[in-house]
């Protein structure tokens, strides 16, 4: 393993989830910090007030999760997300938005974000959101997930003539079943109920899917599967 690989590995089980907060409004940064400070399994490792500072801090601190505003001075959250995912791929990014505008969400997911939180979210929901994305879940509701997958499917069709750059990893039939349900926006509990298996078994399947595809989040796996024509979205 290279020194770079070592720097971008996710935290070991039992370590606190290291969070970087990015927003150009100090009051919002403080509110998010207060929401997370009382959680024993979460540690706020830094704050940034714009996209440029976010890129620099992410590279230095390698956080597990970032809460980042979409619209900021110097560099937008989406531009910053794109650069951060290239330099620190293990970091999972939650975009903070004032509304769930489809265009912003499409661009955020394409840039590597795991999902979004509205800024009017109840503060007691923030720790659970951080834990969820750290475990590989995506913060996107089913209706928006469907719109996203359709958009990426349309993009995939436009690139239909492009041959895959590398052989596509083979998933088992069960893993493909799980991935199809993930693409519908289902969470682990809903998938377990649908397939009559335990929630832990679903988590294991998701972990295996991400390992095989060498990706970091469920949404990345769905986007990859659509692009490589492993999943057909009608």
* pLDDT tens sequence across 195-217: 999 999 999 999 999 889 888 77
118 and 180 belong to one structural domain: no
User: What's the rounded Cα separation, in Å, for the pair 136 and 114?
Assistant: 8
CATH number at residue 77: 3.40.50.2300
Report if residue 106 sits inside a domain.
Answer: yes
Report if residue 204 sits inside a domain.
Answer: yes
3-state secondary structure of 174: helix
76 pLDDT above the threshold of 50: yes
Report if residue 233 sits inside a domain.
Answer: no
* Whole-structure pTM value: 0.67
The residue-averaged pLDDT of 150-172 equals 63
219 and 194 belong to one structural domain: yes
- Over the chain, what is the mean pLDDT? 82
Domain total in the chain: 2
93 and 161 belong to one structural domain: no
Record the tokens describing residue 32, joined without a space.
């998010």
Helices (H) and strands (E) in the chain — how many of each?
11, 5
Task: Please tell me the predicted confidence (pLDDT) of residue 3.
Answer: 35
For a pLDDT cut of 70, what percent of the chain falls above it? 79
Run of H or E residues at 19: strand 17-22
Record the tokens describing residue 52, joined without a space.
């440029």
Report if residue 203 sits inside a domain.
Answer: yes
Alpha carbon 82 to its chain's center: 12
Closest CA to 164 of 228, 230, 106, 214: 228
For 65, phi and psi rounded to 5 degrees?
Answer: -135, 140
Task: Please tell me the predicted confidence (pLDDT) of residue 165.
Answer: 55
Largest CA distance in the chain: 52
| Inter-CA distances, 156 with 13, 17, 182, Å | 36, 34, 18
Report if residue 114 sits inside a domain.
Answer: yes
For 14, phi and psi rounded to 5 degrees?
Answer: 100, -25
Q: In which domain, by residue range, is 174 found?
A: 144-227
173 pLDDT above the threshold of 90: yes
21 and 121 belong to one structural domain: yes
Report if residue 17 sits inside a domain.
Answer: yes
Report if residue 78 sits inside a domain.
Answer: yes
Which of 117, 138, 159 is where one domain is finished? 138
User: What's the rounded Cα separation, in Å, for the pair 160 and 193?
Assistant: 35
The residue-averaged pLDDT of 168-193 equals 88
Which of 96, 112, 138 is where one domain is finished? 138
99 versus 30: the higher-pLDDT residue is 30
């Amino acid at each position: 393993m290279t020194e770079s690989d070592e720097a971008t590995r996710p935290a070991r089980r039992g370590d606190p989830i290291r969070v970087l907060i990015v927003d150009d409004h100090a009051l919002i940064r403080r509110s998010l910090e207060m929401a997370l400070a009382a959680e024993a399994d979460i540690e706020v490792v830094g704050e940034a007030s714009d996209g440029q500072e976010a890129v620099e801090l992410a590279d230095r601190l390698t956080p597990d999760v970032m809460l980042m505003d979409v619209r900021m001075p110097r560099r937008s959250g989406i531009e910053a997300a794109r650069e951060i995912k290239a330099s620190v791929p293990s970091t999972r990014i939650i975009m903070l938005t004032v509304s769930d505008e489809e265009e912003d969400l499409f661009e955020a997911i394409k840039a590597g974000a795991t999902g979004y939180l509205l800024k009017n979210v109840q503060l007691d929901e923030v720790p659970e959101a951080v834990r969820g994305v750290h475990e590989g879940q995506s913060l996107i509701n089913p209706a928006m997930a469907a719109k996203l997958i359709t958009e990426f499917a349309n993009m995939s069709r436009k690139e239909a003539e492009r041959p895959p750059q590398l052989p596509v990893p083979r998933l088992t039939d069960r893993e493909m079943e799980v991935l199809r349900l993930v693409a519908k926006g289902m969470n682990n509990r809903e998938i377990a109920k649908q397939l009559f298996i335990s929630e832990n078994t679903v988590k294991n399947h998701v972990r295996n899917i991400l390992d095989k595809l060498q990706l970091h989040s469920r949404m990345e796996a769905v986007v990859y599967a659509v692009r490589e024509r492993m999943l057909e979205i009608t």
